[in-house]
């Protein structure tokens, strides 16, 4: 984050600390409880928003050499991402064009071609169909050049590989991120960080409840009384709406060490927790020495289920048991606190929500929950997909 931006944010944080205040919206906001339980709402969100936005599928450093690949499940769509011979990446549906079997079961690896284990149909690294057993006799109408793996839009930026999980082309990731977030992530050096560990967690809650937990720090003093509250100031948040996205800055209690720093010597980063909310369901958190990439995905049919993927990125590849122990401790601290506190609260909320659309029942977001208000207004607006331009490829459904 550039120096001038740090100075401006520091000024806002210290003014809030002195006034015991926070950034606030103009008024409260009310939403229906059934927005978290209604199947029609869930399907509309999935179709109109979640399936049309970029999502993180991998770290670039998982795909070093041509032929390196990873598989992922992005918004319920099975994906293969592979490094190509020219250094680019391509992404495909991990679905055979013959009978829709899974082509690659492995989470990651190195291959020059992909062979479906069901009937042996084989695809080149770039997705083109190469071999059809008994093809001339049994599949004479199949044009191999038009029957390859189905491409999905993919882009690589800031050391992350992003995809839109539907067939198409021309994903403009720079436009999606916007100029200021793109600049911040570059200056924070995200591209140089290494993947340490990835975890996938199923939760019996609506995906929005999981997102809501990242969008305010009003709860820190209470929900995290023995964990995060020890290091972070509750109910103090600087919020910047950057086009469709958000930058949230909360203060660590030891930020006071920076109060008297000369402006030209200020490095605010050790005194804050920096969070980027990339609409609609990606969260990037920078905490002193590592990044956490959180991806939230709804269940395909059940509005009361969702999946969380957490990627831990660290400054350099681990060397030795001492470093492994340090990062394992960090990982375990984050996951255990989130599961026992944030997700436990979300599970309780989900049980309490109304499902009867005929009655009342509202949730209220306070003026100090400005991030929540922005997020839910964004979902309600169903924005146009101006950063994604669908285009069918020949022979692909």
Alpha-carbon gap, residue 387 to 364, rounded angstroms: 32
Instruction: Name the strand (E) or helix (H) holding 389.
Output: strand 388-389
pLDDT number for residue 1: 85
**Lowest mean pLDDT: which of 191-200, 218-227, 240-249, 375-384?**
375-384
What single DSSP character describes residue 125? T
Alpha-carbon gap, residue 9 to 16, rounded angstroms: 11
For residue 44, give Cα distances in angstroms to 35, 116, 241, 301: 11, 33, 24, 11
Q: How confident is the model at residue 77 (pLDDT cuts 50, 70, 90)?
A: very high
Contact 210, 296 (CB under 8 A): yes
Alpha-carbon gap, residue 369 to 218, rounded angstroms: 7
Residues whose CB falls within 8 Å of the CB of residue 58, separated by 6 or more in sequence, listed in order: 70, 72, 81, 160, 161
For the stretch 164-201, what's the b/e string if a residue is b when 16 or more beta carbons lie within 10 angstroms of its beta carbon? bbbbbeebebeebbbebbbebbeebebeebbbbebeee
What single DSSP character describes residue 57? E
What is the tens place of the pLDDT at every residue in 263-288?
Answer: 888 999 999 999 999 999 999 999 99
Q: How confident is the model at residue 386 (pLDDT cuts 50, 70, 90)?
A: very low
Q: How confident is the model at residue 392 (pLDDT cuts 50, 70, 90)?
A: very low
Q: Is the pLDDT of residue 385 over 80?
A: no
Q: What are phi and psi of 329, to 5 degrees?
A: -65, -45
Q: What is the rounded average pLDDT of the residues 297-306?
A: 96
Alpha-carbon gap, residue 90 to 66, rounded angstroms: 11
Place of tokens 């957490």: 310
Q: What is the rounded average pLDDT of the residues 152-180?
A: 91
Transcribe 209-228 into DSSP letters: HHHHTTS--TTHHHHTTTTG
Q: Is the pLDDT of residue 123 over 90?
A: yes
Alpha-carbon gap, residue 224 to 220, rounded angstroms: 5
Q: Is the pLDDT of residue 349 over 60?
A: yes
pLDDT number for residue 264: 86
For residue 32, give Cα distances in angstroms to 104, 362, 385: 42, 4, 26
């Amino acid at each position: 984050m550039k120096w001038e931006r740090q100075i401006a944010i520091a000024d806002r944080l210290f003014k809030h600390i002195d006034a015991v205040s926070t950034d606030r919206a103009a008024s409260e906001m009310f939403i229906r409880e059934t927005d978290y339980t209604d199947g029609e709402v869930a399907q509309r969100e999935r179709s109109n928003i979640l399936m049309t936005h970029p999502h993180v599928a991998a770290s670039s450093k998982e795909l070093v050499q041509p032929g390196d690949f990873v598989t992922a499940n992005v918004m319920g769509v099975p994906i293969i991402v592979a490094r190509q011979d020219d250094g680019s990446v391509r992404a495909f549906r991990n679905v055979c064009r013959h009978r829709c079997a899974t082509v690659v079961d492995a989470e990651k690896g190195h291959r020059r071609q992909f062979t479906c284990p069901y009937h042996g149909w084989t695809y080149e690294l770039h997705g083109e169909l190469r071999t059809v057993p008994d093809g001339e006799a049994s599949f004479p109408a199949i044009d191999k050049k038009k029957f390859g793996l189905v491409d999905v839009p993919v882009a690589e930026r800031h050391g992350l590989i992003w995809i839109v999980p539907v067939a198409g082309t021309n994903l403009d990731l720079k436009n999606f991120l916007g100029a200021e977030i793109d600049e911040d992530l570059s200056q924070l050096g995200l591209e140089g960080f290494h993947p340490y560990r990835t975890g996938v967690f199923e939760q019996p809650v609506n995906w929005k409840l999981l997102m809501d937990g990242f969008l305010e720090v009003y709860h820190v003093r209470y929900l995290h009384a023995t964990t995060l509250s020890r290091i972070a100031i509750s109910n103090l948040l600087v919020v910047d709406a950057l086009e469709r996205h958000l930058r949230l800055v909360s203060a660590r209690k030891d930020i006071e060490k920076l109060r008297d720093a000369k402006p030209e010597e200020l490095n605010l980063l050790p005194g804050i927790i920096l969070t980027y909310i990339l609409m609609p369901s990606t969260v990037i958190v920078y905490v002193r020495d590592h990044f956490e990439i959180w991806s939230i995905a709804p269940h395909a049919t059940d509005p009361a289920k969702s999946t969380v993927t957490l990627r831990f990125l660290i400054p350099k590849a681990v060397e030795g048991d001492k470093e492994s122990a340090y990062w394992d401790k960090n990982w375990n601290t984050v996951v255990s606190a989130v599961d026992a506190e944030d997700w436990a609260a979300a599970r309780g909320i989900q049980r309490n929500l109304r499902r009867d659309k005929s009655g009342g029942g509202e949730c209220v977001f306070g003026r100090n929950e400005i991030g929540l208000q922005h997020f839910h207004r964004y979902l309600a607006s169903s924005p146009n997909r101006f950063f994604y331009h669908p285009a069918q490829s020949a022979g692909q459904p």
